[in-house]
């Protein structure tokens, strides 16, 4: 099963609807604990074979879920992941991001930020746009082996449908 976790307003639902490779599309709400709980329920329904794709904040959620469910989640596919989430959302002018920080459990987020193993992991695949203006591209490269990293020189934090389709082709090539 491939579970796709969106970021804040980051992946239009039409992109997912037009792509048959995604089994479950989860749009994050404005409540970190609720999101993690709901995503945990989805993972429990598929205990032996879950790959997660997460974009931006969804990438942070994916790593958090891998920490909670290490045996149930097989691979992570992180697209421009927002790993230093409190800092990134603090700099995000979108009202939804500010509301998330005001209502969210930033202590929980910081705990998972500190607990992430910042080492090259064979089960983590990184899809990084080098023109990303929201996340720290250099920091993100700590999560995946070089051979598990796809670099998109002309892509920013958000992407077109064509760019999304290219990322999904690359993800499918790594699902094995």
| Sign of the four-CA dihedral 60, 122, 20, 140 | positive
Q: pLDDT (tens digit, 9 = 90+) per residue, 64-115?
A: 888 888 889 999 999 998 876 666 666 666 666 666 666 655 555 555 554 5
Sketch out the chain's domains with CATH numbers.
2-175 (3.40.50.1820)
What is the model's pTM? 0.83
Q: pLDDT (tens digit, 9 = 90+) per residue, 14-45?
A: 777 777 788 898 988 877 788 889 999 999 99
> What residues form DSSP beta bridges with 78?
54, 126
* b/e burial code for range 111-126 (CB count within 10 A of at least 16 → b): ebbeebeeeebeebbb
Torsion of CA 121, 127, 130, 135, to 10 degrees: -70
* Nearest-angstrom CA–CA distance, 34 and 26: 12
């Amino acid at each position: 099963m491939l579970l796709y976790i969106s970021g804040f307003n980051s992946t239009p639902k039409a992109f997912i609807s037009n792509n048959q490779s995604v089994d479950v599309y989860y749009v994050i709400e404005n409540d970190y604990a609720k999101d993690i709980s709901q995503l945990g329920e989805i993972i429990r329904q598929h205990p032996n074979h879950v790959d997660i794709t997460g974009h931006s904040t969804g990438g942070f959620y994916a790593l958090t879920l891998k920490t909670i469910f290490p045996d149930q989640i097989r691979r992570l596919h992180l697209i421009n992941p927002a790993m230093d989430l409190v800092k990134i959302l603090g700099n995000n002018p979108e009202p939804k991001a500010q509301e998330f920080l005001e209502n969210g459990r930033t202590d929980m987020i910081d705990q998972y930020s500190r607990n992430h193993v910042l080492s090259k992991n064979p089960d983590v695949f990184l899809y990084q746009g080098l023109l990303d203006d929201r996340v720290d591209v250099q920091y993100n490269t700590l999560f995946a082996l070089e051979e598990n990293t796809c670099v998109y020189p002309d892509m920013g934090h958000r992407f077109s449908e064509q760019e999304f389709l290219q990322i999904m082709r690359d993800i499918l090539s790594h699902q094995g």
